[in-house]
């Protein structure tokens, strides 16, 4: 099998994973109709993301459904491969399974070395017949990026800058999928935009793999510890549609094949707000 077509731009959404199922179904169908190439949903905190993927496949007809991520501590590779094998050929062609190692503080005493654990999981998928071309890894550091190119279709980095995209492309080389997530905030007021970004970053700011990656990208320890404006402006694109489109172009120019946009709404965000933002982004980017 070949890697699914995901286009140049997609949507990454918490709301469609955890929001009201009826509203989520209607929103997913609209995002499909708008022409985005892929719809990414998170799965890192539990073991139920495959059921959510099934639900989104049911209500869409064209768009690729991707995971960002399947937490490899919470799933068995044989179960994932069997679930995939049980899909129709038409549904398989619209599936891209992003896998991730999660975070030591979230896993606790069971935590093992990330590269070894990821290789073990990939070995299990290989043994169960899962096509490598429909897998990618949530890779940040150089070694995980290299592994993503060796054993899967490519990489899905999260909370990164265009500079990281350029580095990732150099490591992956040509011909491998590179699909970074990019948080976007449709807000012109700097204080409001940065507050929304700061709130979105709160659950990630203390996690070592993200902190280490931001330091590798040139942010200072003070930037990371204080969640400085420089860090927020580097990780999130905020402002008008033209400004956000400019950040997407930076990723593409740096070597990204696909950029998945996570609409950051701040407090009170909902599926209706997501749909409105997706319409506006589609008009500018598609």
Closest listed residue to residue 151, CA positions, set 169, 125, 170: 125
- pLDDT higher at 106 or 17: 17
Helix (H) or strand (E) holding 260: strand 259-263
164 — pLDDT class (breaks 50, 70, 90): very high
Interatomic CA distance for residues 278 and 93, integer angstroms: 24
Rounded alpha-carbon distances, angstroms, from residue 44 to 34, 88, 99, 107, 238: 27, 25, 9, 11, 26
Q: Which structural domains are found in the chain, ordered by start?
A: 9-285 (3.20.20.30)
Q: What is the CA radius of gyration of the chain?
A: 18
Render pLDDT for 187-213 as a digit per residue (tens, 0 to 9): 999 999 999 999 999 989 989 999 999
- Are the C-beta atoms of residues 266 and 199 closer than 8 Å to each other? yes
What is the residue whose two structure tokens read 């060796």? 150
Question: Whole-angstrom Cα distance, residue 69 to residue 90?
Answer: 22
If you average pLDDT over residues 143-162, what whole number do you get?
98
Phi/psi class of residue 218: alpha, beta or left (left: φ > 0; alpha: ψ in -120 to 50)? Answer: left
Write down the pLDDT at residue 114: 83
Residue 5 DSSP code: P
CA gap 138, 136 in Å, rounded: 7
């Amino acid at each position: 099998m070949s890697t699914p077509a995901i286009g140049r731009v997609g949507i990454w959404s918490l709301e469609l994973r955890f929001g009201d199922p009826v509203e989520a179904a209607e929103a997913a169908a609209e995002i499909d109709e708008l022409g985005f190439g892929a719809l990414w949903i998170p799965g890192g905190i539990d073991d139920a993301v495959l059921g959510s993927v099934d639900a989104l496949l049911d209500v869409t007809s064209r768009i690729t459904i991707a995971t960002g991520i399947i937490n490899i501590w919470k799933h068995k590779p044989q179960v994932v491969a069997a679930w995939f094998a049980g899909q129709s050929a038409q549904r398989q062609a619209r599936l891209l399974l992003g896998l991730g190692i999660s975070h030591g503080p979230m896993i606790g005493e069971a935590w093992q070395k990330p590269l070894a654990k990821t290789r073990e999981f990939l070995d299990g998928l290989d043994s169960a017949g899962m096509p490598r071309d429909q897998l990618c890894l949530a890779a940040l550091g150089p070694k995980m990026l290299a592994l993503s190119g060796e054993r899967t279709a490519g990489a899905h980095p999260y909370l990164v800058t265009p500079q990281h995209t350029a580095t990732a492309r150099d490591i992956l080389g040509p011909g491998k999928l590179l699909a970074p997530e990019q948080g976007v905030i449709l807000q012109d007021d700097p204080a409001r935009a940065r507050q929304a970004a700061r709130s979105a970053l709160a659950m990630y700011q203390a996690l070592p793999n993200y902190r280490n990656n931001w330091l590798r990208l040139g942010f200072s320890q003070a930037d990371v510890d204080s969640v400085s404006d420089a860090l927020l402006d580097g990780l999130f694109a905020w402002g008008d549609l033209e400004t956000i489109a400019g950040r997407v172009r930076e990723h593409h120019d740096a070597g990204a094949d696909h950029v998945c946009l996570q609409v950051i709404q701040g407090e009170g965000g909902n599926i209706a707000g997501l749909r409105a933002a997706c319409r506006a982004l589609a008009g500018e980017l598609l």
